């Protein structure tokens, strides 16, 4: 997944960013709502982590604008506001989850995974795809009972296919999943990682539509 983190507390923001990266997800971190709007205009995100009290406004207003214009990107609110009325306001504005600071980073990871699975249509974290047993929560894959180690980038791409079974994904869409990782995305990066996934998970795991993109292969 590619996640947008909107948080002005630099200590917490850095900790959350590092946690997301350690989980094998890509993340863009901004500290203001205007920067968040610019980021969303340029990039498609799978999930937003939203603080409510930011230097240039309240996150609730930002969220309401998103929902009013039909943007259904999942949003998890991260805030120190812990009153029941605050939670109700956030959820009624369109948030998918609400996490009160201070929170455990492992709990944040679990909530991110839970929300992402609901939106992908896979609420159960355990999937079977042909000879593959996939644990979305643990981000692990077993092939015929043997564990298959995937790099963070390989998992990010594989997860993109799992979230959209049967859907054709363009090279540009897949590159979006990798831009927030440290290394630069080269012109042949997608081809290289697709090739590695096929070697590790089976040659039929990803199908190619020449000139159009890739899709998850049939089980």
What pLDDT digit, counting tens, does each position of 27-71 carry?
Answer: 999 999 999 999 999 888 889 999 999 999 999 999 999 999 888
pLDDT at position 58: 93
Q: Would you place residue 82 in the very low, low, confident or very high pLDDT band (cuts 50, 70, 90)?
A: confident
pLDDT at position 113: 87
pLDDT over 60 (residue 81): yes
CATH number of the domain enclosing 28: 3.40.50.2300
Going from the C-alpha of 98 to that of each of 108, 168, 209, the distances in angstroms are: 10, 33, 40
Please say whether the beta carbons of 173 and 219 come within 8 A.
no
User: Looking at the chain, how many residues does it have?
Assistant: 219
Q: Output DSSP code: residue 217.
A: P
Q: Would you place residue 107 in the very low, low, confident or very high pLDDT band (cuts 50, 70, 90)?
A: very high
pLDDT at position 205: 94
CATH number of the domain enclosing 133: 1.10.10.10
Prior bond of 102 cis (ω within 30°): yes
Mean pLDDT of the chain: 89
The two three-digit tokens of residue 76, written as one number: 């998890």
Same domain? For 42 and 106 the reply is yes
Same domain? For 88 and 154 the reply is no
Same domain? For 106 and 188 the reply is no
Helix (H) or strand (E) holding 128: strand 126-129
In tens, the pLDDT along 116-156 reads 877 766 556 778 899 999 987 778 899 999 999 998 889 88
For strands 206-209 and 140-143, give the pairing. unpaired
pLDDT at position 138: 77
Residue with tokens 């979006």: 176
pLDDT at position 214: 95
Q: How far apart are the first and last CA of the chain?
A: 23
Same domain? For 20 and 67 the reply is yes
Domain boundary among 120, 154, 174: 120
pLDDT at position 184: 62
Domain that holds residue 40: 2-120
Gap between the Cα atoms of 141 and 126, Å rounded: 10
Number of structural domains in the chain: 2
Same domain? For 98 and 188 the reply is no
């Amino acid at each position: 997944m590619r996640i947008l983190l909107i948080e002005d507390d630099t200590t917490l923001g850095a900790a959350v960013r590092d946690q997301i990266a350690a989980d094998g997800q890509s993340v863009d971190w901004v500290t203001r709502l205007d920067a968040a709007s610019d980021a969303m205009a340029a990039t498609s995100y799978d999930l937003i982590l939203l603080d409510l009290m930011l230097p240039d406004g309240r996150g609730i207003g930002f969220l309401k604008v998103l929902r009013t214009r039909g943007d259904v990107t999942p949003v998890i609110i991260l805030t120190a506001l812990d009153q029941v009325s605050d939670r109700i306001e956030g959820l009624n504005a369109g948030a998918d989850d609400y996490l009160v600071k201070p929170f455990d980073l492992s709990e944040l990871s679990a909530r991110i995974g839970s929300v992402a699975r609901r939106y992908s249509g896979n609420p159960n974290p355990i999937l079977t795809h042909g000879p593959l047993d996939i644990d979305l929560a643990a981000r692990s894959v077993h092939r015929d009972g043997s564990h298959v180690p995937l790099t963070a980038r390989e998992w990010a791409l594989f997860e993109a296919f799992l979230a959209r079974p049967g859907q054709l994904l363009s090279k540009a869409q897949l590159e979006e999943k990798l831009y927030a990782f440290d290394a630069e995305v080269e012109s042949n990066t997608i081809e290289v990682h697709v090739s590695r996934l096929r070697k590790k998970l089976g040659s039929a795991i990803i199908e190619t539509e020449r000139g159009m993109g890739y899709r998850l292969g049939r089980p």
